[in-house]
Structure 1
Amino acid sequence: MVGVMKRYVLKLFISLKYITANVVDRNNGKIVATASTAEHALKSTFECGRSCNAKAAVVVGEVLARRLKVEGLDDGQGRGIHVDINKEVEKKGFKNRTKVWAIANALKDSGVKLILEDRDDEV
């Protein structure tokens, strides 16, 4: 086997109003866990309705981590969630860099094994 199979991948969606984080199973294309500031339970916890800032991103990451634990995807059995931070920042725009990192760090701090992808710039 040449490379590591990237079965579970973190995909982020950031708009002016909402932040959504999905973990997708690439074997079948289905979302295995999701968290979003659009959810009523999360939206009601933000002060002044600010659902798309770095604090909100941390909450999304923490909720996603809890949901991944329920799905058994944080078991440390070699499985991990793949994420290409640079690609996510490029897609979302530089102004969202803090939010992207806030989600990633919240996942790591909550015990989820994140596998950070790199562009293979160095050999």
Structure 2
Amino acid sequence: MTLTKRYVLRLFISIKYITANVVDRNSGRIVATSSTAEHDIKQSLECARSCNAKAAAVVGEVLARRLKVEGLNEGEGRGIHVNVTKEVEKKGFKSQTKIWAVVNALKYNGVKLVLDDEDDDGNSS
């Protein structure tokens, strides 16, 4: 069974770290990831105890580059799906700027994103 929304962006935001993964829902594996916990990214940031929207944008830029290397910046033609509303509900309103920073950084770096704000699981099709 092939899923219509094959590649999905998943975000993990804590007080100290921001991690963005693109998951292939057919196989369940992470195809690209980027995090402020990585040594190279951590060294380039100025966030001590808490990461901000600037750090989230860096995570998005690095993820976009890694997707281009993998050849998945187009998400195999259909794009990479993200449900911003659902992510904000899960992470809380305070994380909204970080979520949008990652999403905008991906868009500005040439990744084809599909914003799914109504139905994330494809139940209406």
TM-score (norm 2): 0.88
Gaps of 5+ in 1: none
Q: How does 1:7-86 map to 2 (within 5 A)?
A: 7-49=6-48, 52-75=51-74, 78-86=77-85
Letter in 2 for 1:112: V
Is the alpha carbon distance of 1:110 and 1:29 closer, same or farther for their aligned partners in structure 2, counting shifts above 3 Å? same
Gaps of 5+ in 2: 120-125
2:7 and 2:75 in contact (8 A); partners too: no
Q: CA RMSD in A?
A: 1.6
2:86 corresponds to which residue?
Answer: 87
Is the alpha carbon distance of 1:36 and 1:51 closer, same or farther for their aligned partners in structure 2, counting shifts above 3 Å? farther
Q: Cα distance, 1:78 vs. partner?
A: 1.8
Deviations 1:50-105 (A, max 9, x none): 55100000000000000000110124752310000000001100000000000000
Letter in 1 for 2:102: I
Aligned counterparts of 1:69 and 1:96: Cα–Cα separation in 2: 26
2:15 and 2:49 in contact (8 A); partners too: no
Letter in 1 for 2:60: G
1:116 corresponds to which residue?
Answer: 115
1:19 and 1:51 in contact (8 A); partners too: no
After the TM superposition, list the runs of 4 or more consecutive aligned residues in structure 1 that deviate by more than 2 angstroms. 48-51
Q: Cα distance, 1:118 vs. partner?
A: 1.8
* Number of residue-to-residue matches in the alignment: 117
TM-score (norm 1): 0.89
